[in-house]
Structure 1
Amino acid sequence: VLMYLKMAPRLDLIVLLMISGALGNEWSLNYSQEKLCALKGSTVVLRATYTHPTDVTVERVFWVIDPVKGRNLTDLRNDSSYSGRVEYLEGEQNHFSLRLRDVKKSDKHNYCCRIITNEDKERYLGYPGVILRVTDLQLIAPAEVTEGESVILTCKTTCSLTDPTFIWYKNTHDLTTNTFKSNKLHLQRVSSEDAGSYNCAVRGSEHLPSPAHNLSVRYPPKSVSVSISHSGERVEDNPVNLTCSSDANPPVENYTWFKENESSPVGSGQILIMTMNYTISKISSEDNEKYKCMCSNEVGHQNSTSVTLNVLYPPKNVSVSISSSGEKVEGTSVTLTCSSDSNPPVENYTWFKENETSPVGSGQSYRALQSGLYYCEVQNKLGSERSAAVSITITDAGDRRIIQMKVTISLFGEEVGKVLLNLTCSSDSNPPVENYTWFKENEASPVGSGQSYRALQSGLYYCEAQNKLGSERSAAVSITITDPPKNISVSISLSGEIVEGSSVNLTCSCDANPPVETYTWFNETSSVGKGITFTISKVRSEDSGKYKCMCSNKVGHQNSTSVTLNI
């Protein structure tokens, strides 16, 4: 690789050492530079220009190093240490240059031009010549810096290069968006992203970069997160691991675990790897908490966001509470309520009277009409549990004939474009119903109240009727809301220009409930076909025009916007 160096102003230093003969006024030998600094491994050119008297003939010109009076001067081309690296360049007007490739540090010498003529006494040496100094690039910078500080990287040479332009690399990628006359790279307020392997080079000699320098950035923990082992359900009495992960330099020294809203740690320790496990060998309902970890190193610390440990367990702490109705209607009654602690929530409540084989009721509350011992059984998907029995005494025998509550739902009502169902809840109770509440299955909160409810969405609905003596739910009814077609669009199989004779498909798409029964195609106002896809196997110019489709189901129909077919 040839490096063209910018020439400094001509120094016109003419100092000739006469080996033999007399120095004539017509002799001169000029070097373009007195001193030259070259990169190790680069190619340099040393230039000389000479003049001589017209009565002598120059037979040979060559370059020598470090000439000493009385010693033979060796042509560089014959010096084994320069083998294959030396080339002489002769030009017009007695220009004679030395091109030296793959410069080595051992090439640091004084280079002089030697002239041999046809006269034995007319031999000349241009002394002093060009002093060649050789340098490599060394990147000087601290090995480690703390995030937020500033750092200066210096590209150092042992001699002054001629008008250098410096280039900087990080992890082999060029950082230099602008050229740098300075040999310093300033990094302001460094962050972890500034860590990496840096090199510097000189423009034109990019293949001769400095050795890599690794810059390490110290920073406190960041990206702190907590993961929980066993991504599925976490059932009571099984082990669980909470793992804290983070990015930090130097590595995390301490991991400290906290329950949310508690200042005292639940576990801490030091570990050699970048993660820390907080282990609960047998989880219980008491471990249902939000957890977070704090990572610390010598630079700082950082907390994770909280994660919730959701422990599943069968019902426990089942109990029955008693409340009298306070009103004697066709006999005295007592309302029993069943309570428990359960995760997931209780799915079924079943009531029993001791010494009776069959259940006497269901639901979280039960209205007892007879004296006796009663208990409830609660169940979720993990198991079941019974309460202790409670003793009930009915003090007024009276006539205990109670009209059981019967709840039904009736459906009616319709609007254009969408069927709207009015649900009505009916019951037979004494005293009369005080509250009607509407529910949609799989939704925890009520969706409405009052004896009638207007359903706008498909699903399973039921009502709950309540009077002073208790409550009862109806069976669920399935509601399906229908819609006419909507969101109708037409797509063309070919994009861009459609050439006559080619085949083209027009496809109609839409949303409908119930599904579309009929697709009808129109060219302008004329019906041209049916089906979800309308195909023209060989289009002609007469097929050009605006096309649209109409989607129809039992509820109604709707047209798409027109698309233009340009043949």
Structure 2
Amino acid sequence: MITVLVLLIMEAGTQGADWSVTFENPDPCAVKGSSVEFRCSYSYKDGQTVRGTSWNKGESRNGTWVRVKLSDFPAYENRSEYVGDKQHDCSLVLHDLQLDDTGYYYFRFDTTKFGYRSKTSVYLSVTELRARVHPDTVRAGDHVTLECKTSCSLNRTVWYKDGRKVTKSTFQAQAEDAGKYSCVVEGQESVRSDPVTLDVYDPPMNVSVEVSYPSILTEDSSVNLTCSSSANPAAINYTWFKRRASPNSRDKSLIPVASGQVLSVPAVEVSHTDLYHCQARNIVGENNSTEVVLRKYDPPMNVSVEVSYPSILTEDSSVNLTCSSSANSAAISYTWFKRRASPNSRDRSLIPVAPGQVLSVPAVEVSHTDLYHCQARNIT
């Protein structure tokens, strides 16, 4: 009986010396959604044959730390892959990592005579990639830093903007840098962080004024001035100003007129001596448009006809009638009319003759009974 006891002790001692499990990287850290490999090797006494292997995860149950086979966890089905063998390789790959995969992992193997559990473990940390933009509010010209945060040290990170790779994680922001940014770990490009949006704010740019008025400007009508701009965020208010444009006026001060994107100026207030501009403002700043002059166009005045003919009027020659006028907007069309001047004629209606500033009347058509006049028209 004593002899048998000594043999058992010797066998156990031999097992402790020749049996081991070694983990190449006992503290791996990986990104959620990626894969990780536990590189592992094991040894045992010569002459033994391995008949089974298993990976286990440690957890506390009812206050007791236990090792549970991965095959007993439904969550690891189709995600755990044993890539080792029944010789000396005990490596394991976990796919599509989840945050709950964080924890302690152990290896066990069984031979024809003994079972051996690893004394140490692999502690896996699963982290998420979190993309951030600094500062939180970015104006055009600000220096921007893209930060890819994790709970552990990883390889170099790579950045993408709207799906396209970017080369710098720090830059001076311009409007075209706005977009959605995400980061990946180099070598694991299939797993990206949730995107973070970069908005580049700038004050209103390209502020302009559009002037519109009816085709016929009367005292009852209005001239509309519309202010527009490009900005991020959009302009939230518009203010209109005017100043005297007369060279003889010493008052060059700006006079606030009204607020709003559209300014309506009654025609009776339109003056050549007033210059208008608008100011567009958003949360970042403001900018002004260039000044515009509202021109009050008068209809042609002092319309007159000049008659010219050769010194000797023959049947082959012509009499030329030239229409002229004065207006601050030059006449754009002339129309000639005639009517009978005979006192015995009851027909006093006007007959359109021809357009154009000059009317040529053949000498053979010249009659004392015809009266001619021209009509001059401009944009009013």
Provide the TM-score with structure 1 as the length reference: 0.47
SS in 2 for 1:223: strand
Quickly say closer, same or farther: Cα 1:290–1:91, change in 2 above 3 A.
Answer: farther
Question: Which runs of 5 or more residues in structure 1 are unaligned?
Answer: 1-19, 179-184, 321-337, 351-356, 364-376, 385-567
Deviations 1:542-564 (A, max 9, x none): xxxxxxxxxxxxxxxxxxxxxxx
Q: CA 1:174–1:308 in 2, change beyond 3 Å: closer, same or farther? A: farther
2:203 is aligned with 1:220: yes
How much has 1:107 moved relative to structure 2? 0.6
Which of the pair has the greater relative contact order for Cα pairs under 8 Å at 6+ separation?
2
Tell me the distance in 1 between the aligned counterparts of 2:379 and 2:162: 60
Spell out, residue by residue over 1:181-229, the C-alpha distance to the aligned partner (whole angstroms, 9 max, x if none).
Answer: xxxx2122x2222222221112233332222222222322211122223
TM-score by length of 2: 0.68
Distance in 2 separating the partners of 1:213 and 1:70: 43
The 8 Å contact of residues 83 and 91 in structure 2, kept in 1 or not, is answered as yes
Q: Give the aligned partner of residue 90 of structure 1.
A: 84
Alignment partner, residue 206 of structure 1: 189
* CA distance 1:91–1:116, shift in 2 (3 Å): closer
Which of 145, 153, 165 aligns to 1:160? It is 153
Match of 1:133 in 2: 125
Shift of 1:58: 1.3
The equivalent of 2:165 in structure 1 is 174
1:279 aligns to what SS in structure 2? strand
**Paired residues of 2:325 and 2:331 also in contact (CA < 8 A):** no
Matches of 2:140 and 2:282, distance apart in 1: 13
1:268 maps onto 2:263 in alignment: no
Q: Kindly indicate whether the alpha-carbon contact (under 8 Å) linking 2:50 and 2:86 is maintained by their aligned counterparts in 1.
A: no
**Correspondence for 2:330 among 337, 344, 347:** 344
How far apart, in 2, do the equivalents of 1:263 and 1:31 lie? 82
1:186 aligned residue (170, 174, 178): 170
**Separation of aligned partners in 2, 1:379 and 1:286:** 26
Q: Return closer, same or farther for 1:378/1:264 CA change in 2, 3 Å cut-off.
A: farther
* Structure 1 segment 376-525 matched on structure 2, within 5 A: 380-381=376-377
Q: Does 1:143 align with 2:143?
A: no
Aligned-partner Cα distance in 1 for 2:65–2:285 = 70
Aligned position for 1:105: 99
- Residues 114 and 225 of structure 1: CA distance in aligned 2, closer, same or farther (over 3 Å): same
CA distance in 2, matches of 1:291, 1:146: 29
Q: Deviations over 1:294-326 (max 9, x none)?
A: 22334333222344545443145x699xxxxxx
Provide the C-alpha distance between the structure 2 equivalents of 1:110 and 1:51, rounded to a whole number of angstroms: 21
- The whole-number CA distance in structure 2 between the counterparts of 1:96 and 1:229 is 82
Q: Secondary structure at the match of 1:139?
A: strand
Show CA shifts across 1:453-506 (max 9, x none).
xxxxxxxxxxxxxxxxxxxxxxxxxxxxxxxxxxxxxxxxxxxxxxxxxxxxxx
Aligned equivalent of 2:40, options 44, 48, 51 = 48
Structure 1 residues 260, 94: CA separation in 2 closer, same or farther (over 3 Å shift)?
Answer: farther
CA distances 1:129-162 after superposition (whole Å, capped 9, x unpaired): 211000011112233122222122210001222x
Q: What CA deviation, in whole Å up to 9, does each residue of 1:232-273 have, x standing for no partner?
A: 85634433321111122343333333358453236231x5xx
**The residue matched to 2:75 in structure 1 has which SS?**
helix
- CA-to-aligned-CA distance 1:303-351 (integer Å, 9 cap, x gap): 22344545443145x699xxxxxxxxxxxxxxxxx98544334978x9x
30 and 90 in structure 1: CA distance in 2 versus 1, 3 angstrom threshold: same
Closer/same/farther in 2, CA of residues 256 and 291 from structure 1, 3 Å limit: closer
- Cα distance in 2 between the residues matched to 1:296 and 1:67: 60
Tell me whether 1:25 sits opposite 2:17 in the alignment: yes
Conservation of the 8 A alpha-carbon contact between 1:235 and 1:313: no
Q: 1:77 aligns with which of 71, 74, 86?
A: 71
Seen in structure 2, the aligned counterparts of structure 1 residues 314 and 66 have a Cα distance that, compared at 3 Å, is: same
d(CA) in 1 for partners of 2:64, 2:112 = 21
Give the whole-Å Cα distance in 1 for the aligned partners of 2:300 and 2:212.
24
Letter in 2 for 1:235: L
Amino acid at match of 1:151: V
Rounded Cα–Cα distance in structure 2 between residues aligned with 1:260 and 1:147: 35
Aligned partners of 1:28 and 1:203: how far apart in 2? Answer: 34
Q: How does 1:347-366 map to 2 (within 5 A)?
A: none
Partner of 2:346: none
SS of the equivalent of 2:100 reads helix
Structure 2 unaligned spans of 5+ = 1-10, 246-251, 305-323, 337-342, 344-356, 359-372
Q: Distance in 1 between matches of 2:239 and 2:223?
A: 17
User: How many percent of aligned residue pairs carry the same amino acid?
Assistant: 31
Report the counterpart of residue 255 of structure 1 in structure 2: 239
What's the offset of the Cα at 1:21?
4.2
The alpha-carbon deviation at position 48 of structure 1 amounts to 0.6
Give 1:452's aligned residue. none
Structure 2 CA distance, aligned partners of 1:138 and 1:219? 27
Equivalent-residue separation in structure 2 for 1:165 and 1:139 (angstroms): 14
Whether 1:239 aligns to 2:222 is yes
Q: How does 1:276-315 map to 2 (within 5 A)?
A: 276-282=261-267, 286=271, 291-307=276-292, 309-315=294-300
Counterpart contact for 2:51–2:111, Cα < 8 Å: yes
Cα gap change, 1:111 to 1:146, in 2 (>3 Å): same
Aligned mates of 1:265, 1:21 — CA distance in 2 = 102
Report the 3-state secondary structure (helix = DSSP H, G, I; strand = E; otherwise coil) of the residue aligned with 1:25: helix
Q: Which amino acid aligns with 2:196?
A: H
